[in-house]
Amino acid sequence: MGEPRVRVAAILRWNERILLCRHEKPGKEYWLLPGGGVKLGESLADALQRELEEEIGLDAEIPLEGPVALVDSIAPPRSFVAKHVVHIIFAGDLGGRSLEAVTSSDAAVRGHRLFEVGELDGVVLHPPIQRFLRRWQPGDPVAYLGALWAP
């Protein structure tokens, strides 16, 4: 299976909504919190700021809280993927930033959208943390959400 991969991500709020990035694989669309892999020798915060710039074009640093949640995504033994991703989730507020000019230099990102928390149940979200996002509030203690897998 190899070593687990560390992925940093951010719950980015804007007017009570959360920004998600759309990804596609053949025949499938799914959504992720903006973020990505941590490189060797890179701090979690530096990796997240780099990924936010790549995925959503935010060139100014966003003040971040966290980590606010930790999640293991471990592929089931009989799945076609040998994968284990450790998600370290931070949070930030986009404040008055305009999202009109949000562009991605990441080829995997196919678009962005702001979602009301109530809309998330109908969304394929990786990892599937809809329940956590519905109840989480800034300042809450860090939560380990366990092993969650979405095929």
| Site of tokens 């640093």 | 61
- pLDDT at position 93 is 86
Question: Residue 73: in which H helix or E strand, if any?
Answer: strand 64-74
Here the CATH number for the domain that contains residue 18 is 3.90.79.10
| Site of tokens 């962005």 | 112
How far is 20 from 89, CA to CA, in rounded Å? Answer: 13
Asked whether residue 67 carries a pLDDT value surpassing 80, the answer given is yes
Q: Compute the mean pLDDT over every residue in the chain, rounded to the nearest whole number.
A: 85
C-alpha closest to that of 145 among 45, 37, 68:
68
Q: How many domains does the structure of the chain reveal? A: 1
How far is 44 from 89, CA to CA, in rounded Å? Answer: 10
Determine the average pLDDT of the residues in 81-108.
72
Predicted TM-score of the model (pTM): 0.87
Asked whether residue 60 carries a pLDDT value surpassing 60, the answer given is yes
pLDDT in tens, 119-129: 998 898 999 99
Phi first, then psi, for residue 76 (nearest 5°) are -60, 150
pLDDT in tens, 43-59: 999 999 998 888 887 76
Find the domain containing 113 and state its range.
5-147
Asked whether residue 79 carries a pLDDT value surpassing 90, the answer given is no
